[in-house]
Amino acid sequence: MGKAEFDIVMGEIDAIAEKVNSFPRPVQETVYRDLVDTLLDRQNRGETTLSERTRSGLTRSSSWRRNSNIAVDRNAICSYYSKHELDKINDMEYAAFCAYFVSELASEEAKRKSIDEALLLEMFEIAGRPMPGNARSTLNNARRVREYLILRPPGKYSLSEDGRKYVLGLLKKESAT
């Protein structure tokens, strides 16, 4: 980066910081990390390791937004969220819905067999739902406490049969009202 480019960035840094501060707290760290990685011309680091975990339990994956294509289903996610009143369920139940959505309801380009912390946070953000305090704990609790998810290393979770039954019941119940 030359002096001219540096001056341009520095001239806009306050506006950038103000905009990023309006994002949910867990997303701010990711945005700042992406910005630094981009400005320093760092290559995509791919999968993160446990040593890269932050205080909040989020990983430092700088690419979760760029590699995700779930945003193509933004309108569908928002539609399910409002139509089925998913704002009334807890975070573990929403994690089960997210796993169901990506495995059953998502478009072909966004369909996946499992979710991880980054995808869960993205779906929270898309729905406008308050971010969980610790996404990994939310997924682990949905697996251990409710048995809605199955751990698929490394750090991925797929929907269990109990989770599928819960979500189908939730969607059916909400459709009937």
pLDDT of residue 177: 53
pLDDT at 104 over 60: yes
pLDDT of residue 23: 73
- Residue ranges of E strands in 32-167: 149-152, 156-159
Q: Give me the chain's average pLDDT, please.
A: 81
Q: Which residue has the higher pLDDT, 54 or 129?
A: 129
Instruction: Name every residue whose Cβ is closer than 8 Å to that of residue 95 and which is 6 or more positions away in sequence.
Output: 115, 120, 138, 139, 142, 148, 149, 157
pLDDT band (50, 70, 90) for residue 175: low
Q: With beta carbons less than 8 A apart as the criterion, state whether 114 and 70 touch.
A: no
Q: With beta carbons less than 8 A apart as the criterion, state whether 115 and 136 touch.
A: no
Q: With beta carbons less than 8 A apart as the criterion, state whether 103 and 159 touch.
A: yes
pLDDT at 171 over 80: yes
Nearest to 135 by CA among 150, 123, 147, 120: 120
